[in-house]
Amino acid sequence: MTYRVSISIFLFVLVLGFTGTAIAQDSMPDMDWQFGTEPIHSQGTDKPADGKLWGIAARKDNVQITFRLEVNDDLSAGRWVGDIRAPEKFYAKFRLMSDDRNQVYFQVENAKAIGPDAQNGQWKDGPGTRSFKSMSFDFNWDQAQKIRGNKTLILNYASADTPDIKKDIHFPLDNFDAKLTDMEAAIRAVPGADKYLLTEIQIKTMPIKNLPPEMQAALSKELDGAAKFLNRSKSDLMKLNFHQVEALIKAERQAKGDAKLAAKRAEHQKIYDQEPNWKDLNVCPKRDVPECGNIGRGGYEFDTMMGKDWDYGKIIGVVWRSEGSIIHIFGGNARMDIDPEIVRAKSAKYYYTLEKDGKIELRPASLIKVR
Q: For the segment 194-243, what is each residue's pLDDT rounded down to a tens digit? A: 999 999 999 999 999 999 888 898 899 999 999 999 999 999 999 999 99
Euclidean distance between CA atoms 361 and 354, whole angstroms:
6
Euclidean distance between CA atoms 310 and 368, whole angstroms:
10
Q: pLDDT tens digit string along 264-317?
A: 999 999 999 999 999 999 999 998 999 999 999 999 998 878 878 899 999 999
Residue 12 has pLDDT above 70, yes or no: no
Strand-pairing partners, residue 39, are: 52
Query: Beta-carbon neighbour count of residue 291 at 10 Å?
Result: 20
**In the chain, pLDDT over 70 holds for what percent of residues?**
93
What does pLDDT average to over the chain?
Answer: 90
Q: Specify whether the CB–CB gap between 103 and 154 falls below 8 A.
A: yes
Q: If you count them, how many residues does the chain have?
A: 371
Query: What is residue 157's DSSP assignment?
Result: E
Residue 29 has pLDDT above 50, yes or no: yes
Average the pLDDT over each of 20-29, 78-87, 145-154 and give the range with the smallest value: 20-29
Closest alpha carbon to 81 in 173, 144, 32: 144
Give the model's pLDDT for residue 334: 94
Euclidean distance between CA atoms 258 and 236, whole angstroms:
25
Give the model's pLDDT for residue 330: 92
Average confidence (pLDDT) over 181-187 = 97
- Please provide the DSSP assignment of 241-294 as one string: -HHHHHHHHHHHHHHHHHHHHHHHHHHHHHHHTTS--TTTT---S-TT-GGGGG
38, 181, 228 from 184: Cα distances, Å: 15, 5, 39
Residue 332 has pLDDT above 70, yes or no: yes
Average confidence (pLDDT) over 147-173 = 96
Give the model's pLDDT for residue 11: 32
